[in-house]
Amino acid sequence: MNFYLTEEQQLIRDTARRIAREVVAPRAPELDDTGIYPEDIFQVYKETGLLGLGFPEELGGSGAGIFGLALAIEEIAKVDNACALILLLTRLSTSAILKAGTEEQKRKYCAGTARGELRGAFGLTEPGAGSDSANIATRAVRKGDEYILTGTKCYISGASVADFFLVAAKTDPRAGSRGFSVFIVDRDTPGFRVGREDRKMGVHGVPTCELIFEEARVPAHNLVGRENEGFKLIMWNLNSVRPCVAARGVGTAEGAIQYAVDYARQRQTFGQPLIEHQAIQMMIAEVAMHIEASRLLTYQAALLVDEGKADREHAHFLSMAKAFATETAVEACDKALQIMGGLGYMHESLTERFYRDARQLTIVEGTSQVQRLIIARAVKDNLLNWY
């Protein structure tokens, strides 16, 4: 695969890098302290076209695909993970619609998201169903021209500001994973409300909330794809954004270790800069290798998604990128904090915030353990063609 960036891709990267440094970085500490969604930064994304990167031109996007979106996310994540998540949510809430939605659904929700007129969120996780997504309890029952949804979702990123929600529910509770369906739920749907906002460890700038369905009346035309065929659609949706989660990991790792390297150049210990000590150099080199490997896995995964290969046959490549890059982010933040010592542990340090934010990455959109199960299955089934 050729990972040399085109002129258009370089422009995307450079634009996102400028926004990260000039707009996001100065606001990041305040967002972490207050937990208030950065409406001003969202508007900058809208004005510069970053919200439309993951969408085709006919739906108001730039046609840059998941690859272009991942490039932008990586740059933003170098300075703040919450603001990188805002970009990721553009596809987390719409990939299933792009795959199986009606033309009307695509024009309304995908084009609306690309233009910054709508914001979406993804409702899968429940109090009793996380990695075991087939165990969801939210029910959807067809009544005439509507589906009646009952249940609760939890830890839903961006729910407090979302205009619509991509929601998984059971339409046939006896059929296991074959009894899933996917719905678009508008915020003003009767019987639906966004519940309490969670207090969490990091990524404070994008609140997470409950979604509560109390006999919510969803129009039947808001069904995405076919009834009872939603499980594969949900997996496609998750697979499609795993390169973007990986990009958050790459950017986080880069930002954290670069911050520590800059500090180590200035900090004097035992008569020389800290960075001249071999023990510190070994830590930096280890992380640098993992960052570059993570980037290659991430770019490969993004290209596969853009080629329409976010399916079971290629899922292991997406899982490799997601698991390796996000674990590299945690490793990089841990080593950066160790390099900086006591200062790195202080709240005013960028490293402290990065460390808290990074711990989200190995959990969301499929834990590292789930990714390893997918990879192991591929090895067992000889999908990697090693022999």
Catalytic residue among 74, 146, 352, 365: 365
Task: Report the greatest alpha carbon distance in the chain.
Answer: 79
Three-class SS state of 298: helix
Is residue 365 part of the annotated active site? The answer reads yes
Alpha-carbon distance 222 to 224, whole Å? 6
Q: Which residues contact 16 (CB under 8 A, 6 or more apart)?
A: 50, 71, 72, 73, 74, 75, 76
Q: Which long-range contacts (CB under 8 A, 24 or more apart) does 2-8 make?
A: 3/296, 3/299, 3/300, 5/71, 8/64, 8/68
Alpha-carbon distance 250 to 248, whole Å? 6
Nearest to 314 by CA among 368, 381, 362: 381
Q: Which residues contact 136 (CB under 8 A, 6 or more apart)?
A: 124, 126, 128, 129, 151, 168, 169, 170, 180
Three-class SS state of 79: coil
Is the separation of the CB atoms in 140 and 218 below 8 Å? yes
Phi, psi of 345 (to 5 degrees): -85, -10
Is the separation of the CB atoms in 76 and 205 below 8 Å? no
Catalytic residues: 365
